[in-house]
């Protein structure tokens, strides 16, 4: 072949190749391409590939961040992340085929041609890797990361999502949405937490996709089980990888990065009563009085939208709530705290101060041409504050004086997806994004987070050292720093009750501890049976609020007919008995991010049975209780008890673990079990948390074979003085083999409200001697199978020996 004949086809081929590659870049799909160059410091490596760049940053031995974009020029800014990179560094190795970055726990392998990322643990086992044929790719502005799907891989998390505990074979989207009466497979809902954990081959890892635009997750739903995919609607693709070896460890790392809740007011752990709407003030008082007269414990009463004047935020309805200060002071006198709803829409009404202020100071979101966006919500035509602007957050926060001054202490943030009668606000609406500038596309999912932040920060200042209680419907990752979350407008049905357990557990797997549904269902009226069953679950739900929609029948515990009131007294009283245990569980959560309601996937990750659909609603409530939700039509339940031994809380009956059991489940007696060796502090029943319980802390200990330790925590429950050391924390250790129970010396300067401790030893063999710090104690038979002894609860170490 002559030289000429050889050049011509070559030329044609290169022109064709050029056209093809241009097309694939400009048109639709392209991938990273091959390695071109590397720039590295110990903390960060930037790899340029043919079509995009990849940045890997060291955060800690178990946390790294990967950022991928065509170029990396987009602002590096997050509303979720509060921790900066650590001081450690990667060890970097490079050869012609790959670059390897090592931390003490992880090995990040980046293959060069084409660029693909694989992450192994220190034992050289692959935790997660990109799907080799695609890696990371673009379709228009959308960037997707395709990852290998392991044959036995399971996925958990993603916050407030319906569906199964194991999210495999499903796909999900993050776009905060107001969906009243959502179906049990609806997606998306109100909250976006783009964080999930993967489990395969007894290995675990976590991925937090920190991008507030519309993101998608496909866990093999339509890929013949070849790969999974997560994607952002616009770049950068920015994710944190967590490589600790346990789910609890990953949650600790994730909440280190995005923050943990601070202790909420103790009263907010009590029972809360709500209805859309108690109106007027006389009705609020009448409801409150009924609680006290009927001796049904309750701490919080809510005012829904009708307390406002024409639904105008930061106003009071002059007809129905003419004297809010007097009303709230009377309620406070009865031991109630008041929470009011706040919606973001500000009524367009010249002369209304919030509207005038917002207009004058340019606080409302606008279209690109500078005109203000107007949408309709409760008050009619509204403008919407730009909560991504510091000045707006300050203004919003300080405006709570109109609620705090008369005595409101709870702030219920609603409609903050944001919702304009269930419609999305147009994408082109502009936001400050704390100086970075963004459109609704990026600001939508963080609107609720920033509204809640402004509410929390503002009311915390106004309450002068007292803790506010903040509740929100919409949220993004990191919301735990500011607010509790409820699961929106659910329905009074068994299906929704059971779904709520999965949703609460899933939120717990996503850094949120203070969560719960509208107990009894918001829309429609529950049957008596459903109400009682749901109430019995509510006792063991972190956020315990009864709420009902306008137009539904009354749902206060005495309104549902015969028998319900008696059951309610029993059940709500049990919540109040458990408060020392529940508060300690909240404390644990503030320290390490472990949720209060814990999916069994946290402690029993590798036990196949916990994943069975019929057991997937079960959860641990705190360290030592296992709750098995059951529909209200079932009087018998099949329950799976994981490893160890378990005692039925109501009867003391013992069951060996790692087996399925049939148990009775009468309406009031939800199957709840105590772990063998479990330690549960309880108190006497009180009618609200401002009432003092008896002077005795009941310390229930259930006989078991294994040693167990438990952190008991107490403080004033109202202020932040615990930050200055005013708390009382004690490590309680039970050693069956050493025959000892030790209550460690009290840490912290807070004097416990209890002056005595009563040991209630369940299913211990008949004791011949019980000694505390060497002196003999008298042993009482408390009831069948429970022996007890009472001791002073001083701050010193208490060493109990039993024979
Ligand atoms: C929304 C809330 C609901 C509230 C109602 C009226 O639907 O989700 O809880 O009662 O608005 O404010």
What integer pLDDT is reported at residue 26 of this predicted model?
A: 52
What integer pLDDT is reported at residue 446 of this predicted model?
A: 98
Question: Is it the case that residue 18 has pLDDT exceeding 60?
Answer: no
Q: Which residue puts its alpha carbon closest to atom 12 of ligand 1? A: 305
Q: Which residues face 215 on adjacent strands?
A: 174, 232
> What is the three-class DSSP state of 395?
helix
CB 166 within 8 A of CB 156: yes
Q: Which residues face 46 on adjacent strands?
A: 39, 55
Q: Return d(Cα 663, Cα 360) in angstroms, integer.
A: 65
> What is the three-class DSSP state of 341?
strand
Cβ of 489 below 6 Å from ligand 1: yes
What integer pLDDT is reported at residue 9 of this predicted model?
A: 47
How many angstroms does the Cα of residue 788 sit away from the middle of ligand 1?
A: 48
Question: Is it the case that residue 24 has pLDDT exceeding 70?
Answer: no
Q: Return d(Cα 555, Cα 536) in angstroms, integer.
A: 15
Indicate which atom in ligand 1 lies nearest the CA of residue 277.
10
Pairing mode, if any, of strands 770-772 and 708-715?
Answer: unpaired
Cβ of 302 below 6 Å from ligand 1: no
- DSSP secondary structure letters along 720-742: SGGGGT-EEEEEEEEETTTTEEE
Indicate which atom in ligand 1 lies nearest the CA of residue 274.
10
* Helical (H) or strand (E) element with 248: helix 247-258
Mean pLDDT is lowest, of 45-59, 222-236, 493-507, 644-658, for 222-236
Question: Most confidently modeled of 83-92, 276-285, 419-428, 776-785?
Answer: 276-285
Q: Return d(Cα 442, Cα 116) in angstroms, integer.
A: 27
Nearest to 226 by CA among 290, 153, 121: 153
* Residue 7 banded pLDDT, cuts 50, 70, 90: very low
Pairing mode, if any, of strands 337-342 and 300-303?
Answer: parallel
> Catalytic residue positions?
414, 417, 489
Whole-model pTM: value is: 0.96
CB 171 within 8 A of CB 223: no
Give 381 or 24, the one with higher predicted confidence. 381
Give 783 or 676, the one with higher predicted confidence. 676
Question: Is it the case that residue 6 has pLDDT exceeding 80?
Answer: no
Q: In what order do the strands lie in the sheet with 195-200?
A: 35-40, 44-49, 53-60, 63-69, 237-242, 203-209, 195-200, 154-157
Q: Which of 486, 489, 547, 551 to mutate to test the pocket of ligand 1 (most atoms within 8 A of CB)?
A: 489
Give 28 or 322, the one with higher predicted confidence. 322
How many angstroms does the Cα of residue 192 sit away from the middle of ligand 1?
A: 19
Nearest to 539 by CA among 682, 405, 647: 682
What integer pLDDT is reported at residue 396 of this predicted model?
A: 98
Q: In this prediction, what percent of the chain has a pLDDT beyond 70?
A: 97
* DSSP 8-class letter at 70: S
What integer pLDDT is reported at residue 424 of this predicted model?
A: 83
- DSSP secondary structure letters along 621-653: ETTTEEE----TT-SEEEEEE-SSEEEETTT--
Cβ of 343 below 6 Å from ligand 1: no
Radius of gyration of the chain (CA): 28
Q: Express the helix, strand and coil content of the chain in percent, nearest 5 each.
A: 20, 30, 45
Cα–chain center distance at 511: 5
Tens of pLDDT, residues 558-580: 999 889 999 999 999 999 999 99
What integer pLDDT is reported at residue 225 of this predicted model?
A: 87
Q: Return d(Cα 627, Cα 441) in angstroms, integer.
A: 40
Cβ of 341 below 6 Å from ligand 1: yes
Cβ of 477 below 6 Å from ligand 1: no
Q: Which residue puts its alpha carbon closest to atom 3 of ligand 1? A: 489
CB 502 within 8 A of CB 162: yes
Tens of pLDDT, residues 746-789: 999 999 999 999 999 999 999 999 999 999 999 999 988 999 99
CB 396 within 8 A of CB 390: no
Residue 118 tokens read as 């694989």
> What is the three-class DSSP state of 55?
strand
Q: For 7-12, what is the mean pLDDT?
A: 46
CB 512 within 8 A of CB 543: no
Tens of pLDDT, residues 601-615: 999 999 999 999 999
Nearest to 410 by CA among 303, 503, 537: 303
The H helix count followed by the E strand count for the chain is: 13, 54
* DSSP 8-class letter at 266: G
Indicate which atom in ligand 1 lies nearest the CA of residue 180.
7
Nearest to 214 by CA among 528, 470, 424, 364: 424
Residue 622 tokens read as 């705190």
Tens of pLDDT, residues 116-155: 999 999 999 999 999 999 999 999 999 999 999 999 999 9
> What is the three-class DSSP state of 257?
helix
Q: Return d(Cα 175, Cα 748) in angstroms, integer.
A: 44
* Residue 25 banded pLDDT, cuts 50, 70, 90: low
List the Cα angle 104/105/110 in 5-degree steps.
95
What integer pLDDT is reported at residue 27 of this predicted model?
A: 56
Q: Which of 276, 422, 472, 487 to mutate to test the pocket of ligand 1 (most atoms within 8 A of CB)?
A: 276
CB 491 within 8 A of CB 518: no
**Helical segments of 301-382, H only:** 324-333, 353-360
Scan for tokens 């706040």, then name that residue.
Answer: 342
What integer pLDDT is reported at residue 16 of this predicted model?
A: 43
Q: Return d(Cα 327, Cα 338) in angstroms, integer.
A: 10
Scan for tokens 């309450």, then name that residue.
Answer: 463
Nearest to 483 by CA among 472, 494, 473: 472
Residue 628 tokens read as 């098995």
Q: Which residue puts its alpha carbon closest to atom 7 of ligand 1? A: 489
Question: What does the mean pLDDT of the chain come to?
Answer: 95
Residue 604 tokens read as 């029993």
């Amino acid at each position: 072949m002559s030289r000429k004949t050889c050049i011509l086809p070559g030329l044609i081929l290169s022109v064709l190749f050029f056209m093809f590659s241009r097309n694939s870049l400009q048109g639709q799909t392209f991938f990273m391409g091959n390695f071109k160059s590397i720039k590295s410091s110990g903390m960060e490596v930037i790899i340029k590939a043919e079509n995009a760049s990849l940045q890997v940053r060291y955060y800690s031995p178990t946390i790294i961040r990967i950022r991928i974009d065509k170029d990396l020029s987009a602002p590096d800014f997050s509303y979720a992340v509060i921790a900066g990179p650590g001081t450690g560094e990667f060890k970097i190795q490079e050869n012609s085929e790959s670059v390897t970055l090592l931390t003490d726990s992880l090995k990040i392998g980046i293959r060069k041609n084409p660029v693909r990322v694989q992450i192994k643990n220190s034992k050289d086992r692959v935790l997660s890797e990109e799907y080799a044929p695609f890696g990371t790719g673009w379709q228009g502005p959308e960037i997707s990361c395709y990852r290998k799907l392991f044959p036995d891989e399971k996925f958990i998390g993603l916050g407030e999502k319906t569906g199964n505990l194991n999210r495999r074979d499903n796909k999900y989207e993050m776009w905060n949405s107001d969906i009243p009466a959502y179906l049990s497979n609806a997606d998306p809902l109100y909250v976006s937490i783009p964080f999930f954990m993967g489990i395969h081959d007894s290995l675990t890892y976590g991925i937090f996709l920190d991008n507030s635009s519309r993101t998608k997750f496909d866990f093999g739903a339509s890929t013949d089980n070849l790969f999974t995919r997560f994607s952002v609607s616009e770049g950068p693709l920015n994710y944190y990888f967590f490589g600790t070896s346990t789910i609890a460890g990953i949650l600790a790392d994730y909440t280190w990065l995005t923050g943990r809740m601070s202790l909420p007011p103790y009263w907010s752990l009590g029972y809360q009563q709500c209805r859309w709407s108690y109106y007027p003030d006389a009705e609020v008082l009448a409801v409150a009085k009924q609680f006290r007269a009927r001796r049904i414990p309750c701490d919080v009463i809510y005012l829904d939208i009708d307390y406002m004047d024409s639904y105008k935020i930061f106003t009071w309805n002059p007809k129905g709530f003419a004297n809010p200060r007097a009303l709230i002071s009377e309620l406070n006198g009865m031991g109630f705290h008041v929470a009011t709803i706040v919606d973001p829409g500000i009524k367009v009404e010249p002369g209304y101060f919030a509207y005038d202020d917002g207009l004058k100071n340019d606080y409302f979101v606008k279209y690109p041409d500078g005109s203000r966006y107007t949408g309709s919500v409760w008050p009619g035509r509204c403008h919407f504050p730009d909560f991504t602007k510091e000045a707006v957050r300050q203004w919003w926060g300080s405006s709570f004086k109109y609620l705090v001054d008369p005595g409101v202490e709870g702030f219920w943030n609603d409609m903050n997806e944001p919702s304009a009668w269930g419609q999305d606000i147009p994408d082109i609406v502009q936001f400050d994004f704390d100086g970075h500038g963004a459109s609704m596309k990026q600001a939508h999912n963080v609107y609720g987070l920033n509204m809640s932040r402004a509410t929390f920060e503002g009311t915390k200042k106004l309450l002068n050292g007292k803790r506010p209680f903040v509740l929100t419907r919409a949220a993004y990752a990191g919301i735990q720093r500011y607010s509790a979350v409820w699961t929106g407008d659910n329905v009074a049905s068994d299906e929704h009750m059971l779904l709520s357990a999965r949703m609460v557990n899933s939120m717990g797997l996503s850094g949120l501890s203070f969560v719960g549904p509208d107990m009894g269902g918001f829309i429609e009226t529950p049957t008596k049976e459903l109400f009682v069953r749901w109430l019995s679950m509510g006792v063991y739900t972190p956020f315990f609020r009864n709420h009902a929609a306008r137009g539904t029948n009354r749902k206060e515990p005495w309104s549902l007919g015969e028998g319900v009131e008696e059951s309610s007294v029993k059940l709500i009283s049990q919540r109040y008995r458990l408060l020392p245990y529940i508060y300690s569980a909240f404390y644990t959560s503030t320290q390490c991010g472990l949720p209060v309601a814990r999916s069994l996937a946290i402690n029993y990750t590798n036990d196949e049975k916990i994943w069975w659909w019929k057991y997937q609603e079960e959860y641990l409530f705190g360290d030592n209780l296992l709750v098995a939700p059951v529909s209200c039509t079932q009087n018998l339940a099949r329950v799976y008890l994981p490893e160890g031994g378990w005692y039925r809380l109501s009867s003391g009956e013992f069951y060996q673990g790692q087996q399925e059991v049939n148990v009775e489940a009468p309406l009031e007696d939800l199957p709840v079990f105590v772990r063998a060796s479990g330690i549960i502090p309880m108190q006497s029943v009180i009618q609200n948390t401002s009432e003092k319980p008896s002077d005795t802390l009941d310390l229930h200990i259930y006989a078991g074979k294994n040693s167990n330790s438990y952190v008991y925590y107490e403080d004033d429950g109202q202020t932040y003085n615990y930050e200055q050391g005013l708390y009382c924390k004690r490590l309680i250790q039970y050693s069956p083999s050493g025959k000892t129970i030790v209550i460690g010396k009290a840490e912290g300067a807070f004097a416990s409200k209890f002056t005595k401790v009563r040991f209630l030893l369940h299913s211990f063999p008949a004791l011949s001697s019980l000694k505390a710090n060497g002196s003999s104690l008298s042993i009482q038979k408390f009831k069948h199978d429970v022996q007890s002894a009472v001791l002073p609860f001083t701050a010193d170490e208490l060493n109990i020996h039993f024979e």
